[in-house]
Amino acid sequence: MTVAVPLRSDAQANRQRIIEVARAALAGDPATSLNAIAKLAAVGPGTLYRHFPTREALVVAVYRADLEGVVDLARDLTEQLPPVEALRAWCRRLVELARRQTGFAQLLSAATTEQERMEAHLPVHAAIAHLTNACIAAGAISPDVEPIDVQLALAFTWNIRTEEGERRAFKSIDIVILGLTSY
């Protein structure tokens, strides 16, 4: 059995900086080279390749980092807001993320298998379950509603590409939530 060795703090900082730079660079130009990303992150190509041996590995790391942020947000929002408002705020963030990641959708499809994409979304499913269960526990939505129902009702949020689409998605989220609370 192989035991993962934790990264030194400087190596972790380099990895995080590469991910942040790659997020911005690839969103602007999906064809940005890894060498250009290394230069923008102020690290050598060897450092970049040590953390991300392939372009695909970097794309997946950026995507997962964004998803982890959305998942963490679900927990934070349920501590700060009433459950239904937490769900609404979280869904809006999901739309904003999807819009920001327009270029990533194509890169991710090219860089990963269907199974890898499904696995990458598991934390999002967990966040939806957390938010749904919080709403049920508060009596805001029916116990007959399951997390998968909410997930399917919100599936459109992954396909938002424009500012107008984002505005319409926010309205659609309000309609979905109205339906959930009226069911």
Kindly state whether residues 48 and 69 are assigned to the same domain.
no
Average per-residue pLDDT for the chain: 88
| 27 and 60, same domain (yes or no) | no
Q: Which amino acid is at 78?
A: T
**Looking at the domain assignment, is residue 159 inside a domain?**
yes
For residue range 71-98, what is the model confidence (pLDDT) as tens digits? 899 999 999 999 999 999 999 998 888 7
Gap between the Cα atoms of 18 and 121, Å rounded: 22
d(CA 183, CA 172): 16
Parent domain of 40: 8-53
**CATH number assigned to the domain comprising residue 20:** 1.10.10
Residues 64 and 120 in one domain: yes
Residue-level pLDDT at 103: 66
Q: Examine the domain organization and report whether 138 and 64 are in the same domain.
A: yes
**Residues in Cβ contact with 113 at an 8 Å cutoff, skipping those fewer than 6 apart:** none
Query: Which has more confidence, 38 or 65?
Result: 38
Whether residue 153 sits in one domain with residue 128: yes
Identify whether residues 126 and 147 lie together within a single domain. Answer: yes
30-48: pLDDT as tens digits: 889 999 999 999 999 999 9
Q: How many domains does the chain have?
A: 2
3-state secondary structure the chain: CCCCCCCCHHHHHHHHHHHHHHHHHHHHCCCCCHHHHHHHCCCCHHHHHHHCCCHHHHHHHHHHHHHHHHHHHHHHHHHHCCHHHHHHHHHHHHHHHHHHCHHHHHHHHHHCCHHHHHHHCHHHHHHHHHHHHHHHHCCCCCCCCCHHHHHHHCHHHHHCCCHHHHHHHHHHHHHHHHHHHHC
Looking at the fold, whether 89 and 15 belong to one and the same domain comes out as no
User: What's the rounded Cα separation, in Å, for the pair 6 and 89?
Assistant: 34
User: What's the CATH code of the domain at 68?
Assistant: 1.10.357.10
* Residue 107 within any structural domain of the chain: yes
161's CB contacts (< 8 A; 6+ apart) are 99, 102
46 and 114 share one domain: no
- pLDDT category of residue 115 using cuts at 50, 70 and 90: confident
Specify the pTM: 0.77
